[in-house]
């Protein structure tokens, strides 16, 4: 029997553990897995594109576990009352192929993206960072804001979205968070002025230039979250040219990240090298750093492990028969026969 975790289970897990504690624990899982980078069988995600969006499969495995995530990205889904991003995934044993967990990953993707952002910013942002600009105030914005506030000590977040209702929604959710000051802004330029960290988490599938070179300031760290598929960027190429750029898995980032607009020899650093101490992160207080984040399967591997462990601890989830449990492993056809029919056959 596999463990089934619904959106209600993950929401209950977050409430019972508390979001700061869950995010803190998730960062620990992420760091542990990134430090084992060489143990994983890695591949860029497999994408199917349409005019309105993309559906992607994100597999990864080590010698013990295999995971995958199914995820979409459809920026116009709001017109149908649907999320831009929807996802589910599974965790299985490598030794037997037996599925252990089948879980929602829509809420969980927002959690792991925020935790990954903080994990990286701990090494790339200035240690004295207190102010963040948050450009794009949609579905993932609260997760980013709370992760940076609780885990990195951000005290002020300057907000901008082309949809004022999105900013109002974020402020409604977070206005009572102790020690967090929210400042709505009228433009991206206003929001990023004086910000120590700039997080971009926009949804449009277009080659946008949300952050431009004239907005850069010495010591700024840019957490670029929204550029995550071919034809979708957020940063002007001049921003990348003036910055030290870090990525998750370079072969995937070259296709999907903001660096897709750069030549093939444009220098980037995979973040696991920073975490392992092979290369430095931020070199000085004046350096401008960019995390060109597209989301990588290893982060979902960490998320699924955490979901499994926390669900066991809290008694959440339900069992589901994803594969038959047969008395005779060679008698699959026998699963189609009802107990009553089998009794009648034996009696005949």
| pLDDT tens track for 302-339 | 999 999 999 999 999 999 999 998 889 999 999 998 77
Q: What is the pLDDT of residue 182?
A: 98
All domains in the chain, ordered by first residue: 2-107+299-325 (3.30.1780.10), 120-295 (3.40.50.720)
pLDDT at residue 343 greater than cutoff 90: no
pTM, two decimals, is 0.95
- What letters, b where the CB count within 10 A reaches 16 and e where it falls short, cover 181-218? ebebbeebeebbeebbbbbbbbbebeebbbbeeebbee
Q: What is the pLDDT of residue 348?
A: 63
Q: Which of 9, 161, 228, 292 is catalytic?
A: 228
| pLDDT tens track for 254-307 | 999 999 999 999 999 999 999 999 999 999 999 999 999 999 999 999 999 999
Q: Is 228 a catalytic residue?
A: yes
Alpha helices in the chain (DSSP H): 7-17, 19-34, 106-124, 141-152, 164-174, 188-192, 237-241, 250-256, 271-275, 297-314, 339-347
| pLDDT tens track for 116-150 | 999 999 999 999 999 999 999 999 999 999 999 99
| pLDDT tens track for 232-249 | 899 999 999 999 999 999
Q: In what order do the strands lie in the sheet with 289-292?
A: 181-184, 156-160, 131-135, 197-200, 221-224, 289-292, 244-247, 269-270
From the list 290, 289, 230, 241, the residue with the least C-alpha distance to 266 is: 241
| pLDDT tens track for 192-219 | 999 999 999 997 777 789 999 999 999 9
């Amino acid at each position: 029997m596999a463990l089934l975790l619904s959106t209600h289970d993950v929401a209950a897990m977050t409430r019972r553990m508390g979001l700061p504690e869950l995010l803190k624990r998730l960062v620990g899982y992420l760091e542990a897995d990134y430090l084992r980078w060489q143990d994983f069988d890695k591949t860029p995600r497999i994408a199917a594109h349409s005019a309105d969006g993309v559906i992607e499969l994100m597999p990864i495995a080590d010698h013990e576990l295999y995971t995958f995530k199914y995820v979409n990205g459809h920026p116009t889904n709001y017109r149908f009352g649907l999320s831009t991003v929807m996802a589910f995934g599974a965790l299985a044993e490598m030794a037997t192929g037996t599925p252990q967990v089948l879980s929602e990953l829509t809420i969980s993707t927002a959690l792991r993206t925020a935790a990954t952002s903080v994990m990286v910013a701990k090494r790339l942002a200035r240690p004295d960072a207190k102010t963040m600009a948050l450009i794009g105030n949609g579905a993932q914005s609260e997760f980013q804001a709370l992760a940076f506030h609780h885990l990195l000590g951000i005290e002020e977040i300057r907000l901008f979205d082309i949809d004022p209702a999105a900013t109002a929604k974020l402020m409604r959710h977070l206005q009572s968070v102790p020690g967090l000051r929210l400042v709505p802004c009228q433009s991206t330029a206003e929001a990023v002025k004086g910000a120590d960290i700039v997080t971009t988490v926009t949804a449009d599938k277009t080659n946008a230039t949300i952050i431009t070179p004239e907005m850069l300031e010495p010591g700024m760290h840019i957490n670029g979250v929204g550029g995550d598929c071919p034809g979708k960027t957020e940063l002007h190429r001049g921003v990348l040219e003036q910055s030290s750029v870090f990525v998750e898995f370079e072969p995937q980032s070259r296709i999907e990240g903001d660096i897709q607009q750069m030549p093939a020899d444009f220098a980037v650093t995979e973040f696991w090298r920073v975490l392992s101490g092979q290369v430095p992160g931020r070199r000085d207080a004046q350096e401008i750093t960019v995390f060109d984040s597209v989301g990588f399967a290893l982060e979902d591997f960490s998320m699924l492990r955490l979901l499994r462990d926390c669900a066991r601890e809290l008694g959440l989830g339900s069992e589901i028969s994803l594969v038959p449990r047969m008395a005779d492993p060679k008698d699959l056809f026998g699963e189609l026969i009802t107990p009553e029919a089998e009794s009648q056959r034996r009696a005949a």
